[in-house]
Amino acid sequence: MNHNRIVCFDLEMCCWNENGVGTTGEIIEVGLAEIDLAKGEIVKRAQYYVKPENDEVSMFCVELTGITPRKIEKQGRPLEEVLKSMVKNFGGSNKIFASWGRDDLVLAQECQDKGIEMPFKEFINLATLYRIQNRLKDKRIGHKAAQESKGIEWEGRQHSGYVDAYNLAKLALTMF
């Protein structure tokens, strides 16, 4: 296990807004940003688009994420292929993965549903760690608000897995 490296990741899923209630479906993007704790810097980034097997990208989802059905059609690959690329380029079980919230559970459920092996074992929920470090007890705080509260500028469009993972890596560097 390489404890000097943490791979921050963010998932975007098919999503819908029905009567003001948001729902999500299959994963359509995986954004990753790896940090080197010894160097105190982001050392690697990647973005993978995933072709959903059953869901379609809604107009609500396009507006929220900027991911279009055309982009998925042209650049998307099956989840299993994306996860193989992720493990090849970032390491799997030999790295610690982290997200804001429980993206690990979302990924684990979709892997289970599709008969795919989970690409990593070690996971840190940075939202929980942030709440503990900042004594927020029961109060939830969004990733962008947490980052801005630490004086770290948000860069790029929110709800892009690539952008969110990069921003999360910047915040994570202040937490370890």
The parent domain of residue 64 ranges over 5-174
Tell me the pLDDT tens digit for each residue of 49-100. Answer: 999 999 999 999 999 999 999 999 999 999 999 999 999 999 988 999 999 9
| Number of domains, the chain | 1
Q: Model-level pTM?
A: 0.95
**Which residue shows structure tokens 């993206």?**
103
- Phi, psi dihedral angles at 134 (to 5 degrees): -105, 15
Single-letter amino acid code for the residue at 127:
A
CATH of the domain at 147: 3.30.420.10
Q: Give the DSSP H/E element, type plus range, for residue 80.
A: helix 79-90
